[in-house]
Amino acid sequence: MTIHTKMARLVAVLALGLFALFAQPQAAQAQDIVNPTAQSVTEDALLGALSGDAQVQGRVTIPDDLSSGLIKPGNRNWADTHGGPVRTTTLIAVVGMLAVLVAFYLIRGKIRIDSGPSSERILRFTSMERFAHWLMAVSFIVLAITGLNLVFGRAVILPLFGEGVFGTLSAWGKVAHNYMGFAFMLGLLLSFLYWVVHNIPDKVDLKWLSQGGGLFVKGVHPPAKKFNAGQKGIFWSVTIGGAALSFTGVMLLFPEMAGGEAGWQLYQVIHGIVAAVLTAIVIAHIYIGSVGMEGAYDAMGSGEVDLNWAKEHHSLWVDEVQSKQSQDGGEAGSRPTTQPAE
């Protein structure tokens, strides 16, 4: 070791000692104020302080604020709800309704026109009314099937057709569901405007309901206007349920509007449950409008129904139409609402 290196060492040691002399009190002072060990945030404390749908939040340096949430334990609750109660409700509603209808058909059979088909027909729904109905109906059926696919597809379609077919079907189904929603909303709005005046509940409905609508006993036909209480029930179910589905559906399509993840999750659960209940109601509606009742389909098919069918199911409405016709007198000829069947 040369004298030069010895000197260098001595200087270094002295410098260190000098530094320690000044630095030590400062460090001790700082330690009194901040103890990073004792004061560190712990996961347990943060999770324990969380309430409801809150999340452990921090700061990130990447330009994506959404990623600053570290742990969101509540998301598992939504996952459990979606995979549990929502799925179960849908299953019970849809399968239960199908079972009820099959039982009804087996016991009651097809509801016939008791007085037999007549030779006259009467216009029940104009082409615009039918357009509104079918716009809503076709879009609803597509929405219901693609929606049910999201709930049960993986249990039913996937094992039957395999991953490739199911994946492609579901991808197209998602696109259809996202865009058909707007056709449904238009149909819903038109139907509401056309029919709301005929769907205000009144005293006639009470009588209709007290007789079970004549659905369960042959030969019983409580009076009804353009829409009986059952149809009013369908109308308001579709109107209110459809409005709820439309609103929540738009929220799901535009997640930024849904008010964070908790908001989106709430809308998704509402959307699922309302859709399940409305689907069940609409299945019953489809049944009674097709195989369940003779002559009912014509109302939305050609728009013209059998006069005897109309007298049995909508007696007050027939009176109304016929008295209006006789008042109009000769003018009715240019707008034939009653004409012989072919």
Partner 1 sequence: MPRMKFLCDADRCIECNACVTACKNEHEVPWGINRRRVVTINDGLPGERSVSMACMHCTDAPCAAVCPVDCFYTTDDAVVLHSKDTCIGCGYCFYACPFGAPQYPRVGNFGTRGKMDKCTYCAGGPEADMTEAEYVKYGANRLAEGKLPLCAEMCSTKALLAGDGDIIADIYRERVVTRGYGSGAWGWRSAYGETVSV
Contacts with partner 1, residue ranges (CB under 8 A): 34-44, 46-47, 56-62, 64, 66-76, 78-80, 82-83, 149-151, 153-154, 158, 163-164, 166-167, 170-171, 174-175, 178, 253-256, 261, 264-265, 268
Closer residue to partner 1, CB minimum distance, 140 or 166: 166
Least Å from the CB of residue 87 to partner 1: 10
Partners of 128 in the beta sheet? none
Closer residue to partner 1, CB minimum distance, 57 or 290: 57
Closer residue to partner 1, CB minimum distance, 79 or 341: 79
Least Å from the CB of residue 269 to partner 1: 11
Nearest by Cα to 227 from 336, 302, 160, 133: 133
Least Å from the CB of residue 47 to partner 1: 6
* Reduced 3-state DSSP string for 131-195: HHHHHHHHHHHHHHHHHHHHHHHHHHHHHHHHHHHHHHHHHHHHHHHHHHHHHHHHHHHHHHHHH
Least Å from the CB of residue 29 to partner 1: 15
Least Å from the CB of residue 34 to partner 1: 5
**Cβ neighbours of residue 130 closer than 8 Å, sequence gap 6 or more:** 300, 303
Closer residue to partner 1, CB minimum distance, 91 or 190: 91
Signed CA dihedral, 274, 276, 280, 283: sign only: positive
Query: b/e for 280-303, b at 16 or more Cβ within 10 A?
Result: bbbbbbebbbeebbbbbebbbeeb
What is the bridge-based pairing of β-strands 120-123 and 304-306?
A: antiparallel
Least Å from the CB of residue 246 to partner 1: 15
Count of Cβ atoms closer than 10 Å to residue 192 Cβ = 17
Closer residue to partner 1, CB minimum distance, 62 or 197: 62
Count of Cβ atoms closer than 10 Å to residue 127 Cβ = 8
Closer residue to partner 1, CB minimum distance, 94 or 151: 151
Partners of 306 in the beta sheet? 121
